[in-house]
Structure 1
Amino acid sequence: MSTLTYPEVGATRLGPLPRGYHHLHHRSAVGRGPADFAAAGAAITEWRMHRASGARVEASARRAEPGGDVRVSLGLGPLRFTAPCEVIWTAYEEGRTGFGYGTLAGHPERGEECFVVDLADDGTVWFTVLAFSRPASWYTRLAGPLVPAVQHWYARRLGRTLRRIVAAG
C-alpha cells in the first residue's frame, strides 16, 4: 500500500467534500431496471467504463477492491498523463455499486474521486462522479482553470460511455 497525497481519505463516500479543493459533481441517467444496474456496476468496478472511454488502465486486481492500486493514463503518444491511485472504498450493495480512489505520488492532482451507480425507486439507473482535487504538479498549477473544465468533460464522457455499454447489454 502506498501513501495517499491528501488527508481527507474517504470524503467522497461519507461527505462532506473538504474545503480548499475544486469540487466535481456529475450525475447522469445511464439505464433502467435491475439488469441495467448490474451491467453498469460491473462496467465501473471491472474498469471497462474507463477503458471504453479511451483511458489505459493498469490495476492490481480484476475489480475494484480497497487497497488496490490503479494507474489510469490519458493522452496520445508522448503526451500521456498517468494518474496513480489507490482504491479507498467500494460499494457492492443492493441498489448501489461503485468505488472511490485517492491520489498517490506522481498523480498530477491531489484528492479523491468516486464512480457510483444507484438504482432509484423509480427504476432509473443513475451514474455519479464525485471528486475533490487540487493541483499537485507544476503543469496542473500552470493549467489553472483548464483542469476543472477537462475533469468535467471527462466525467460527461464517462457517463456517455457507460450509457453505451449498458445499452449494448
Structure 2
Amino acid sequence: MTRLIRSLATAGPPPLSYPEVGATRTRPLPAGYHHLRVEVPIGSGRDVFRTAGAAVTTWRVHRASGARIRAESPRAEPGAGVEVSLGLGPLRLTAPCEVVWTVYEDDRAGFAYGTRQGHPERGEESFVVDLRADGSVWFTVTAFSRPARWYTRAGGPLVPVVQRWYARRLGRTLRKIAAG
C-alpha cells in the first residue's frame, strides 16, 4: 500500500491526450478533428493591445467570462497545468489542460493549452491577441478537438456550437476589459 501511495504521489500530472501538440501554432490543423477559428475585433492602439494581451495571458478574460481557473502559474507558461471549469453545481464540467506554447512579442501575445487525460475533449485551443499593421487589435481563438467522453460524444453537433459561443463570449469579454 505504501508503494502505491508513493507511486501516485510521484506520478506527476496526467499526460496530454492527443499527439498533435503545437498544431494551433504551426498549422495546418490536423485532420480528424472539429476545427474552430473565431476572430473578434477588440479595439485599436498599443494600450488596448497591452491590456488585452495581459488579460489573456493571466487568465483574467477566462475568469471574467465565467470560467473557474486553477492554474499552476499566474501567467501562461509552457508546461503549466490549468484546470478550467464551467457550469453550476452538478452540471459543472472540469477540464484539465496544460499550456503547450506561448507567445510574448511586440505585436502578438497569447498561448495555447492542450487537453490532458480526463478532459471531455481531445485537442488544443489557442488564445492570441494581435496588434495589426493598421493599429487594430484582434483576438483569435483557434482550436481542434474531438470528443473524449461519452457525454461529449452524445452531445454530437451541439458541442461545436457551444465551443463557438464560448469563444465569442471570450472576445466580447476581452473587448470590455480592454475598453476599461
Bin of the TM-score, shorter chain as denominator length: over 0.9
Deviation for aligned residue 1:94: 1.3
Is structure 2 residue 167 aligned with structure 1 residue 155?
yes
Structure 2 residue aligned with 1:56, among 62, 68, 81? 68
The 5 A counterparts of 1:1-169 are 1-168=13-180
Which runs of 5 or more structure 2 residues have no equivalent in the other structure? 1-12
2:36 maps to amino acid: L
TM-score normalized by the length of structure 1: 0.98
1:150 maps to amino acid: V
TM-score normalized by the length of structure 2: 0.92
Pair member with larger Rg: 2
SS at match of 2:92: strand
The two structures, once aligned, show a CA RMSD in angstroms of: 0.6
Quick check: which one's strand share is greater? Answer: 1
Quick check: which one's helix share is greater? Answer: 2
Which runs of 5 or more structure 1 residues have no equivalent in the other structure? none
Deviation for aligned residue 1:77: 1.1
SS at match of 1:18: coil
2:130 maps to amino acid: D
Cα shift readout 1:41-74 (whole Å, capped 9, x = no counterpart): 0000000000000000000000000000000000
Instruction: Measure the CA separation in 1 of the matches of 2:101 and 2:168.
Output: 22
Aligned residues: 168
Instruction: Measure the CA separation in 2 of the matches of 1:120 and 1:130.
Output: 18
Identity across aligned pairs (percent)? 69
